[in-house]
Amino acid sequence: MQVTAIREAECPQCKKRTSIPVPVPARSDDRASARLGTRFGERRSVTCPDGHSYWVAL
């Protein structure tokens, strides 16, 4: 089972906050399961409630 954390991002235009689900890697020695989590430098496109789109580094 994959655990998901919630991260909040603030829109740079209107300052409204948006919740983003972020996968958390399992604590395991298995490298295959560790790759299922967020990779270093991963980015995601987010849209705030007012419709502004921006990138967030996870």
- For the chain, the domains span 3-57
- Interstrand relation of 3-10 and 17-24 (parallel, antiparallel or unpaired): antiparallel
With a threshold of 0.85, does the pTM exceed it? no
10 half-sphere exposure, CB direction, 13 A CA radius: 3
Gap between the Cα atoms of 18 and 13, Å rounded: 13
Q: pLDDT class for 24, splitting at 50, 70, 90?
A: confident
What is the amino acid identity at position 50? D
User: What CA–CA distances, in Å, run from 57 to 10, 20, 25, 30, 47?
Assistant: 12, 11, 17, 25, 14
Mean pLDDT of the chain: 81
pLDDT of residue 36: 53
> In 3-state terms, what secondary structure has residue 11?
coil
pLDDT of residue 54: 96
Higher pLDDT, 28 or 45: 45
